[in-house]
Amino acid sequence: MSEPTALADETVEPDDAMPPSEEALAVAGLRRFVRRPLVQATAAGLLLAGSLPPWGFWPLAFGAVVLLDRLLADAPWRRRLSRGAVAGLALFAPTISWITQLTPPGYVVATLAFAGLTGLFLSAVPPGAGRRPGLVGAWVLCEGLRMAWPFGGVPLSLLAVGQVAGPLAGIARVGGVLLIAAATVLVGLAISAALSHQVRVAAAAGVAVVALVVVAAVAPHGEDTGRTVDIAFVQGGGEQGTRAINTDRRKVFERHLDASAEVPDGMDLVLWPENVVDTDFDVQDAKEGVELQRLARRLAAPLLVGTVEGVDDEHFRNSQQALDAEGNWGDRYVKVQRVPFGEWVPFRHWIEKVAPDTLARRDATVSHQSGLMHTAAAPLAVVISWEVFFGHRARSGVRAGGELVYNPTNGSTYTGTLVQTQQIASSRLRAIETGRWLVQVAPTGFSAFVEPDGTVHQRTGTRERAVRVRRDVALRTGETWYVRWGDRPARVLGAGLLAGAWVLALADDRRRRRGEPDDGGAVDTVLVTGG
C-alpha cells in the first residue's frame, strides 16, 4: 500500500517565515493609536475648533459629534468625564488663545475650567439608551451656563459661531445660538446613527433638523418700516497689538478725526468705533469734546463716538455718546457687559500678584441700560464690543425700540484675526436673531455692514484706514421669536432632553435586569438607542 497523503486543509509552517515589514508594523501601531479613546476625544475637540472662525469649516462640527457619540456609548461616568474634558481642552486651547494677550495665567485657568466644565456636562449624559437626547441636552445646557457664568458669562467657542456660515444659521431667529447648538448636535447624531445602520434613528434626527430649518424659514423675520438711512462708518486704522497703557490716546483720536474728512456730504448717520476718545474726565468738558462738536456740525449729521472717561482713581466709564447735527450732546449708553480681566479684574488682589503688568489698572463702571440710543436718524440698539457675543444684549436694545443694531468695538489689543473673525460671526448671529441691519465699527478692523439675514458687506481689513458708506439701509421693526422669548425655550428644551434621557436610560436598565426584551421601535423614534 502507498503512504496516506496529507489532508487538504493541513498547513505546514515554513521554518523561514518572513516577519512583518516595518511599514506593516507602523500601520498597525498607528491604527492602535488612533483607536485610543483619548486620541479620538482630542480629535473631536480639534474638529470643533476647526469649525469655528478663523478656520471656519463648519461641517467639521458634525464629525466631532460623531466621535463624541461613540466615545460616550456605554462608558462609565468617569470615562465620560475624562473624554469630555480632553475634547474640551482641544476645543478651547486654540479658540480662546487670544486671552494670553490679556493675561497668560487667565488663559490657562480659563482653558482648564471650560474643559472641565465640558467634561462635567458630558459625564451627565447617560450611557447606552438615552445618550443621544442626553448629548443634545447636555451640550445646550453647558453652552447656556457659559453664556451666564462665570463673571457674567463667557460665551466663547459656541457651536453657532461656526454654524452661522452654514444652513443652520436661520435657526437663530427662532431660538438663538442654543437652538443652533441643538440642531448641530442632532445633525452629527444623524450621521453617527446612519453609519451604524440605525435607519430610524438617523431619520428621526434628520427630520427634527429639517423641521427646525423650515420653521426658521417661515418664522417672523422683522419687517421694514419703509424708512431708510444713509450711513458712514469711520475706521481710523493703525497697528494691532497695542494697549491703552502704551499708546498715545490723542493719536488714536486724531486718526479718526482725520479719516472723517472722507465722509461724504448728505449722510444721515456717522458712526465711530468704541473708546477712541479717551479723557481723564467727562469728554463733554474736554478739548476733544469741542472738536467733536465742530465735526458734527461740519458733517451736518448725527455722530456717535466711543468714549473712555475717568471717573475716579479706581474706575472709568466706557460709553457711546451721540451728538446731533448741530453739535449738541444727546444720548449716552454706558456699557453693561464688561470684559473680565480686560475691563475689570475679578479677584484683583490675588491676580495682580501673578500678572501685574497685563491687567487694567481701573475697573469699568456698569450700567443697567437697555442699550437703546435715540438719534434724529433712527433709534439704535447699541451693543459695545464684548456685548455682541451676548444675544440678550442686542435683544434688550431691540425690544426697547431699536430699529438698527450698532456694534462699536475695539480689537486693536489683539494681534492676528482670531478675535475679529469670531466677532464678525457673532455680529451675523445678532443680525439674524433680531431681524435688523447691524453695523460693526472697529478702529483697526474688522468693520462691516451686516444684513438681517447675516450677509456681510464692505468688510474692512485690519490696520487700514477706511470710511465705508452704505445708502438706503432699511430701518426695521417687529419681533423675531428670539427677540420675543430669548434663550429660555432652548434652555428648557435642553433640560427636558437631559432629564428625559435619564428616565429612558433608567427604564431600559430596569428592563435588562428583569430580562424583558427591548421594545425598540418607540425608543428609536426618540433617538435613544445606542450605536
Q: Residue 54: is the preceding peptide bond cis (ω within 30°)? A: yes
C-alpha cell recorded at residue 22: 516595518
Query: Mean pLDDT, to the nearest integer, of 178-202?
Result: 97
CB 394 within 8 A of CB 437: no
Selection from 186, 178, 228 nearest residue 207 by Cα: 186
Bridge partners of 320, per DSSP, are 306, 333
Convert the pLDDT of each residue in 133-177 to its tens digit: 999 999 999 999 999 999 999 999 999 999 999 999 999 999 999
Between 170-174, 198-202, 523-527, the lowest mean confidence (pLDDT) is in: 523-527
More confident residue, 191 or 240: 191
- Cα 360 to chain centroid, rounded: 24
Bridge partners of 309, per DSSP, are 279, 317
Cα atoms in the 13 Å half-sphere on the side-chain side of 430 = 36
Query: Mean pLDDT, to the nearest integer, of 278-305?
Result: 97
- Alpha-carbon distance of 84 to 75, in angstroms, equals 11
- Alpha-carbon distance of 89 to 116, in angstroms, equals 8
pLDDT surpasses 90 at 129? no
Amino acid (1-letter code) at residue 288: E
pLDDT surpasses 90 at 27? no
Let me know if 139 is exposed, middle or buried by CB neighbors in 10 A (0-12, 13-18, 19+). Answer: buried
Convert the pLDDT of each residue in 390-428 to its tens digit: 999 999 999 999 999 999 999 888 888 999 999 999 999
Q: How far apart are the first and last CA of the chain?
A: 61
Q: Which residue segments constitute the domains of the chain, with CATH numbers given?
A: 35-220+485-525 (no CATH), 224-347+357-479 (3.60.110.10)
- Alpha-carbon distance of 73 to 125, in angstroms, equals 9
- Alpha-carbon distance of 39 to 116, in angstroms, equals 17
Q: How confident is the model at residue 19 (pLDDT cuts 50, 70, 90)?
A: confident
Find the helix or strand (DSSP H, E) in which 310 lies. Answer: strand 303-312
Predicted local distance difference test score (pLDDT) of residue 2: 46
pLDDT surpasses 70 at 17? no
Let me know if 20 is exposed, middle or buried by CB neighbors in 10 A (0-12, 13-18, 19+). Answer: exposed
Q: Residue 446: is the preceding peptide bond cis (ω within 30°)? A: yes
pLDDT surpasses 70 at 273? yes
- Cα 187 to chain centroid, rounded: 19
Sheet of 404-408, strand order: 372-374, 379-382, 404-408, 438-441, 448-450, 456-457
Convert the pLDDT of each residue in 227-271 to its tens digit: 999 999 999 999 888 777 667 889 999 999 999 999 999 999 999
What phi and psi, each to the nearest 5 degrees, are found at residue 89?
Answer: -60, -45
Whole-number mean pLDDT of the chain? 91
Q: How confident is the model at residue 348 (pLDDT cuts 50, 70, 90)?
A: confident
Between 87-101, 118-132, 344-358, 384-398, the lowest mean confidence (pLDDT) is in: 344-358
Predicted local distance difference test score (pLDDT) of residue 4: 47
Convert the pLDDT of each residue in 88-98 to its tens digit: 999 999 999 99
